[in-house]
């Protein structure tokens, strides 16, 4: 990557042409949609922007989004650490199958992720009759939204931790145990500090996807304003009512979140690369 000579292998006009084409493509498909979100949101000025956000339905959508993604992140984080501990620290049969199954939600269309919970908990579903009889609502209510969000963000933390913990090995944990530490002490004092950057990376990706999920949540939500609309669903409702300024105002909050995510991601990738290269340089440490 460094050293000027190798960059000179392509003639300058070719370099400029290719760079211009690449930047043009990215400008058209990435920069312009991003600019459009903020441009449309602020088209009628800051006052209209704030009015669109400081509005009961929008605020309740923000609260529901924070609640659902909070629960999804905490449960997938707990699961991710447990699964990575079992998979990375022990040898057992069928491990590869388990790793593949953990990635399964990434291969499923978000719409199908919503559909499965409707088939299980909906009024015609497996438990529909029982749930109706006990007056418990899961579909078209908050629990369904939480479940759909958990499903689509299921693999994020686990898939970051498994390869890292596998490459770190068991030596430090075994040393801790032989010096008299308990299992939980080993986890909190040795393992978690070693994986903290990858853990945070997984949590950030998980949070971004959880807050932005649309398809899965849309199927189970029922679109009840002020009750079961998350932010992306609120964007859809406002947009379909031709209330474009308000739709883009709520969308701009999600776009800001995406930009923060990208910045955090770049920073953490740099950190994680450092952890990995330290491991490679000094595998015994």
Partner 1 sequence: MRSNWFQRHSILPGFWPSLGSSMLYLSLVVLIPLSAIFLKSASMTWPRFRSAVTAPDVVASYKLTFGASLGAAVVNAVFGFLVAWVLARYRFPGKKLVDALVDLPFALPTAVAGIALTSLYSENGWIGRRLAVWGIRVAFTPLGVLVALIFIGLPFVVRSVQPVLEDVDRELEDAAASLGANRWQVFSRVIFPLVRPALLTGFAMAFARALGEYGSVVFISGNMPMRTQITPLLIVAKLEQYDYAGAAALAVVMLLASFVLLLFINILGAHGRKYMEAR
Name the residue nearer to partner 1 (CB basis): 61 or 197: 61
The one among 42, 66, 125, 279 contacting partner 1 by CB under 8 A: 125
31 counts as binding partner 1 under rule CB under 8 A: yes
User: Of 56-64, 86-94, 130-138, 273-281, which segment contacts partner 1 by CB under 8 A?
Assistant: 86-94
Calculate the alpha carbon distances from 246 to 38, 45, 240, 266 in Å: 11, 12, 11, 31
Which residue in this structure is represented by tokens 């990635």? Answer: 103
Which residue in this structure is represented by tokens 């057992």? Answer: 92
User: Of 53-61, 159-167, 194-202, 250-258, which segment contacts partner 1 by CB under 8 A?
Assistant: 250-258
Name the residue nearer to partner 1 (CB basis): 122 or 198: 122
Round to whole Å and give the CA distance between 110 and 118.
Answer: 13
The one among 59, 82, 136, 224 contacting partner 1 by CB under 8 A: 82
23 counts as binding partner 1 under rule CB under 8 A: yes
The widest CA-to-CA distance across the chain, in whole angstroms, is: 75
For 248, other C-beta atoms within 10 Å of its C-beta total 23
DSSP collapsed to 3 states, 227-283 = CCCCHHHHHHHHHHCCCHHHHHHHHHHHHHHHHHHHHHHHHHHHHHHHHHHHHHHCC
Q: Total number of residues binding partner 1 (CB under 8 A)? A: 96
User: Of 54-62, 95-103, 195-203, 271-279, which segment contacts partner 1 by CB under 8 A?
Assistant: 95-103
For 204, other C-beta atoms within 10 Å of its C-beta total 21
95 touches 87 (CB < 8 A): yes
User: Of 94-102, 130-138, 195-203, 271-279, which segment contacts partner 1 by CB under 8 A?
Assistant: 94-102
The one among 54, 129, 166, 174 contacting partner 1 by CB under 8 A: 174
The one among 63, 109, 225, 273 contacting partner 1 by CB under 8 A: 109
248 counts as binding partner 1 under rule CB under 8 A: yes
Residues 212-231 touching partner 1, rule: CB under 8 A, are 212-215, 218-219, 231
Which residue in this structure is represented by tokens 């801790």? Answer: 176
10 counts as binding partner 1 under rule CB under 8 A: yes
Residues 262-281 touching partner 1, rule: CB under 8 A, are 262-263, 265-266
Q: Give the angle 3-9-12 at the CA atoms, nearest 5°.
A: 105
Name the residue nearer to partner 1 (CB basis): 81 or 198: 81
């Amino acid at each position: 990557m460094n050293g000027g000579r190798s960059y000179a292998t392509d003639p300058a006009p070719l370099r400029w042409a290719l760079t211009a084409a690449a930047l043009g493509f990215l400008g058209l498909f990435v920069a312009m949609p991003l600019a459009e979100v903020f441009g449309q949101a602020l088209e009628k000025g800051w006052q209209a922007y704030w009015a669109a956000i400081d509005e009961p339905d929008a605020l309740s959508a923000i609260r529901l989004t924070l609640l659902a993604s909070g629960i999804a992140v905490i449960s997938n984080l707990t699961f991710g650490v447990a699964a990575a501990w079992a998979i990375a620290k022990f040898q057992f049969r069928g491990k590869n199958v388990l790793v593949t199954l953990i990635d399964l939600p990434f291969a499923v269309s978000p719409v199908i992720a919503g559909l499965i919970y409707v088939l299980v908990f909906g009024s015609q579903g497996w438990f529909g009759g029982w749930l109706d009889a006990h007056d418990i609502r899961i579909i078209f209510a908050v629990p369904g939204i939480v479940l759909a969000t958990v499903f689509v963000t299921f693999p994020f933390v686990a898939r970051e931790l498994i390869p890292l913990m596998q490459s770190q090995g068991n030596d430090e944990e075994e040393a801790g145990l032989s010096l008299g530490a308990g299992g939980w002490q080993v986890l909190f004092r040795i393992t978690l500090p070693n994986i903290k950057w990858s853990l945070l990376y997984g949590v950030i990706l998980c949070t971004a996807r959880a807050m932005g999920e649309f398809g899965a949540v849309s199927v189970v939500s029922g679109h009840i304003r002020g009750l079961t609309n998350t932010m992306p669903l609120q964007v859809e409702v406002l947009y379909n009512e031709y209330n474009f300024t308000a739709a883009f105002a709520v969308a701009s909050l999600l776009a800001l979140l995406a930009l923060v995510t990208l910045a955090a991601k770049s920073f953490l990738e740099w950190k994680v690369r450092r952890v990995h290269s330290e491991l490679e340089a000094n595998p015994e440490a």
